[in-house]
Amino acid sequence: MSEPQGEDARLAGPLAALWRSAAVRLGAGEDDAAIVRVGGEEVVLTTDALVDGVHFELERAGPEAVAWKALAVNVSDLAAMGAEPLACLAAVVLPREGGAALLEPLLLGLDRAARALGCPLVGGDTNVGPGPLTLALTALGRLGPAGALTRAGARVGDHLSVTGPLGGSRAGRHLAVRPRVAAARALLATGLVHAGMDLSDGLARDLPRLCRASGVCARIDAARLPVHPDALALGGDPVARALGDGEDFELLVAHAPLPPGTQAALAGAGVTLIEVGEVRPREEGLGLLRDGRVEPLPALGHDHFLGA
């Protein structure tokens, strides 16, 4: 019997076969979002579908928190590309039982999130179905003068850093996503960042995606991982939680060594940057430095086909 395939492996073949026009700079499956040329400008597009019982628990969270997360995770993808949000569309599938009562609080929640995140809701679609509540949002963004931040471009010798603590998001933080739009803008402005992405499925699952796009590998230092207090409160191995819990929505960036004063300047702009490892040659593989030994990076993180 063959081993079950995860999301990336299942999608690789079909996505590679998709038709793309000359207007498409980055297409399906290549990065956190797509980049399409519209006239003389490049527009960033992303979409995410969230399902009750998978990405949130409606009864516990309430419609307003669900609406916030649905928009915020899309804006986080825009931030991962170095883009500023422009607008969003929302497709909502309401459950047949009790769904009508959810429509108004969901729309009000989306509008509050849109105002806070600078990404106005400009349209969408509403349906009713037999399954759980599902929200599918599409967000559009515009690139700044520094251009796009993509997963490709990491160089051997680059430092790997994250913009905040990791692990334990299921204690409730996954509903209060804070997209790192301003942080991405400040990091790009340094001219030192070569590649990046946001951490949605866990560092151990997302880092290989950046490495594949860049044609490199990496080594993570377990002692440097910033473990969130939520992860410690949940118990278990804190390193495993930081690597695999997922839904942190912090940025992971590969960057050149920071000149003196850069870290302080970033901190002054409200940007936290915590070094967790380094980019290594591809032939070395993905490694985790722990207790003085290098071991293979564990296969942790969330995969929709394989589960957690």
In angstroms, the CA 200 to CA 132 distance is 22
Question: Apex CA 90: angle with CA 38 and CA 166, to 5°?
Answer: 90
Q: Copy the structure tokens of residue 197.
A: 């992405």
In angstroms, the CA 285 to CA 212 distance is 11
Q: What is the pLDDT of residue 9?
A: 77
In angstroms, the CA 188 to CA 184 distance is 6
> 160 - beta bridge partners?
254, 277
Q: What is the pTM of this model?
A: 0.94
What is the set of domains in the chain, with CATH numbers? Answer: 21-143 (3.30.1330.10), 159-296 (3.90.650.10)
Pairing relationship of beta strands 217-221 and 287-290 according to DSSP bridges: parallel
- DSSP per residue over 117-138, as a string? HT--EEEEEEEEESS--EEEEE
Task: Calculate the CA 299 to chain-centre distance.
Answer: 18
pLDDT along the chain (308 residues), means of 10: 68 83 92 94 97 96 98 98 98 96 97 98 97 97 95 98 97 97 97 97 97 98 98 96 98 97 94 97 97 96 70
Question: Apex CA 39: angle with CA 38 and CA 42, to 5°?
Answer: 45
| Burial class, 167, CB count within 10 angstroms (exposed 0-12 / middle 13-18 / buried 19+) | buried
CB 272 within 8 A of CB 226: no
Q: What is the pLDDT of residue 3?
A: 55
Q: What is the pLDDT of residue 14?
A: 86
